[in-house]
Amino acid sequence: MTSLTPFAGLTPDAVLDAAEAVGLEPDGHLFALNSYENRVYRLGRHDAPAVVLKFYRAGRWSDAQILEEHAFALELAAAEIPVIAPLRLGESTLCHQGDFRLAAFPLQPGGAPDLDTSEARELLGRTLGRIHSIGALRPFVERPTLAGERLGSRARRVVLESGQLPEHMRGRYVEVSGRLLEQIMEVCAAVGAWRAIRLHGDCHLGNILWQAQGPVFVDLDDCLNGPAMQDLWMFLAGSPDERSGQWQELMAGYRRFAPFEHRETRLIEMLRAVRMLNHAAWIAERWADPAFPRAFPWFGEPRFWEQHVLDLLDQSRVLDEPSEFAL
């Protein structure tokens, strides 16, 4: 096992042994769940409900950062906000077993969200407003802040140093991504200093379970300090008119529990650009992990990079246009 292949030794027997060692009393039933950054399993237990067992990628977060994530989830759960918070295993929510760090979470039922159903976005906005009202009480100390290199410059450097970018696309990528970084900084300067609060950080439909009473948020692995818009923009899709209506529905629920500064709406396309840059860098940085070539086989093909540069160019053009939510 190396830092590039941190889960090489995580066999089913190793998972079950770790679960036994932390007192979860596994019954031998183990099912791998969809996850790339970490490794996540549904674990059956003797005479107890099944749990979700999560093994953290080595070298990504420190113990202090993971524990701060756990504390945030527990704080939200204590306020009766629907999030999946970690279980205490002995004296902590984070355990060490050999080379691995793991945590357990209650297994929750739920389906995929359908935000086009009646009042779904308003209910989603209300829950996010409650999360942000707690998140605004104090900042993370150990977790990162969405600023500086996290706004795309590190991602660009990772791609350029990865060896994945085809040589015939290198010059064009340098040009287009460089201009996009300039535009990102221009938007930040135009919006001015925003209120940085504790956020979910990776807030999209794949990290929500929908139950009869509404959304349940899972996976705070990317939680950080940042603008409220970071947890809101990915729930907008479609034409400008459709996005405007969706935004009004979200805000109808959100503003019942948390304030929102309208100038942050100018961050939407900037945050989309940052995510585009970061996503390509994330795969490039993890390419030695066998799970990534299996999951993203197209990433190693020249046509992916040709399309990626075209997508970045399109996003650069969008950033040159007036914001649909501009004051």
Mean pLDDT of the chain: 94
Give dist(CA 179, CA 237) in Å, integer. 25
pLDDT digits (tens, 9 = 90+) for 144-195: 999 999 999 999 999 999 999 999 999 999 999 999 999 999 999 999 999 9
Residues 258 and 203: their CA atoms lie apart, in Å, by: 17
Domain boundaries, the chain: 12-106, 120-319
The reported pLDDT for the residue numbered 308 is 98
State the pLDDT at residue 327: 37
Residue of 202, 221, 231, 289 marked catalytic:
202
Does the pLDDT value for residue 324 go beyond 80? no
202 is an active site residue: yes
- Write the single-letter amino acid at 318: V
Instruction: State the Rg of the chain over Cα.
Output: 21
Domain 120-319: CATH superfamily, name plus number: Transferase(Phosphotransferase) domain 1 (1.10.510.10)
Query: How far apart are the C-alpha atoms of 318 and 172, rounded to whole Å?
Result: 18
Per-residue pLDDT at 61: 97
What is the percent of the chain with per-residue pLDDT over 70, rounded to a whole number?
Answer: 98
Q: pTM for this structure?
A: 0.94
Q: Among 2-16, 52-66, 86-100, where is mean pLDDT lowest?
A: 2-16
Strand pairing category for 100-106 and 48-55: antiparallel
Is 221 a known active-site residue? no
Choice among 27, 63, 219, 289 that is catalytic: 219
Q: CB atoms < 10 A from the CB of 33, how many?
A: 12
- Fold exhibited by the domain 12-106: Phosphorylase Kinase; domain 1 (3.30.200)
The reply to whether 12-106 and 120-319 are identical in fold is no
Asked if the model's pLDDT at residue 201 lies above 90, the reply is yes
